[in-house]
Amino acid sequence: MTNLSGVGPLFDATGQVERLSRDNYRFLQRYVLDGSGIVIDSEKDYLFEARLMPLVRRENLRSLNDLCALIKATAATPIRQEILEAMTTNETLFFRDMAPFEALRNSILPELKAKCGPAKRLRLWSAAASSGQEAYSLAMLLLEGGFQNWNLQIAGTDIAESILERARTGRYSQLEVNRGLPVHYLIKYFTRHGLEWQLKDEIRRMVRFERLDLRRATAGPGPFDIVFCRNVLIYFDPTTKRQILAAIQSVLAPGGYLSLGAAETIINLNETLEKCVFGKATLYRNPE
């Protein structure tokens, strides 16, 4: 047991909960940066409080400073991983932003169908898969696009194991299936399970979820025809972004496509991927 007495009073003189000390603030910043690559700058320091106080309470600690003391004093406790997972943003939805999925449906999938026709094989990667909606959206799109009798492999990876466990179940709340999922897909690919909705096995077995830290994605599987790496680069510093883009490009098939989040670009980060605009979507193509 770690002795946590003497870390400080529960309340300060004004009756406020003890504030995170300057040193511990820097410690947490570093800890999250090393553990997941995520940069938490001073404008976002409220995130520590918002995301970690539930852990503080659950562990019967008194403050974020106590939590810091705990992880400084212990090596391999589950809470170390939980802190990293609590600090990542997992928000996602089916067919997020629509435009990249429309680009696939209208242009890219028909192109790949012609190109890969003889082998009838397509490999896709959802590189920050979170709870799986993106990977499963790709799976539904492929079935709708007439790829049923193709050899299809969709990889879904994320740094957070707990979110991947959810992804694998393919079970979503009503709120989640309300968001972004066309109702025609809901009735075709889901069954009702009490208050939740269960993706049918037909879709679930198209996707394989595995833990992967994008910063170590150098020798990943591949090559991939389509990579979705959306709404995760924004959290990293420029060096890490550049390195991840290079790693992705190295597993992208010649002529393969990369989709980034709506607020993300390769400007100043990669010189060889080719920008391709499809309607409202921008994707990047690996030169042949």
Partner 1 sequence: MAKAMVVDDSRAIRLILGRTLEGFGYQVCQAANGREALALLHREGDDLNLVLVDWNMPEMNGLDFVKEVRSNPRYSKLALMMVTTETHIDQVCAALEAGANEYVMKPFTPEIIADKLRLLGCLQ
Ligand X SMILES: C[S@@+](CC[C@H](N)C(=O)[O-])C[C@H]1O[C@@H](n2cnc3c(N)ncnc32)[C@H](O)[C@@H]1O
- H or E element that contains 88: none
Helix (H, G, I), strand (E, B) or coil at 224: strand
Q: Which residue has the tokens 């529960």?
A: 10
139 Cβ contact list (under 8 Å, min separation 6): 152, 154, 203, 206, 207
Site string for ligand X, 69-88 (x = CB under 6 A): -------------------x
Instruction: Select the binding partner of residue 29 from partner 1, ligand X, none (C-beta < 5 to 8 A, by kind).
Output: none
Specify the stretch interacting with ligand X by CB under 6 A; choose among 21-29, 107-115, 159-167, 183-191.
159-167
Q: Using CB distances below 5 to 8 A depending on partner kind, what does residue 88 bind out of partner 1, ligand X, none? A: ligand X
Q: Phi and psi of 61, rounded to 5°? A: -90, 175
CA distance 217 to 221: 9
Other beta carbons within 10 Å of 153: 16
State the Cα–Cα distance between residues 259 and 264, nearest whole angstrom. 9
Burial of 286 (0-12, 13-18, 19+ CB in 10 A): buried
Q: Which residues bind partner 1 (CB under 8 A)?
A: 93, 95, 98, 174-175, 177-180, 182-184, 186-187, 191-192
286: contact with ligand X by CB under 6 A: no
For partner 1, the closer CB: 95 or 147:
95
**Closest CB 49 distance from ligand X, rounded Å:** 20
When CB distances are held under 5 to 8 angstroms depending on the partner's kind, the choice from ligand X, partner 1, none that residue 175 binds is partner 1
| Residue 156 partner contact from partner 1, ligand X, none using kind-dependent CB cut-offs of 5 to 8 Å | none
Interface pick for ligand X out of 66, 134, 225, 264 (rule CB under 6 A): 134
The nearer residue to partner 1, 199 or 217, going by C-beta atoms, is 199
> Among 29, 231, 249, 282, which residue interacts with ligand X (rule: CB under 6 A)?
231
How many Å apart are CA 98 and CA 179, to the nearest integer? 11
Take residue 239 and report the two structure tokens written for it. Answer: 């060096």
Binding site for ligand X (CB under 6 A): 36-38, 88-92, 96, 128, 130, 134, 158-160, 163, 213-215, 230-232, 261
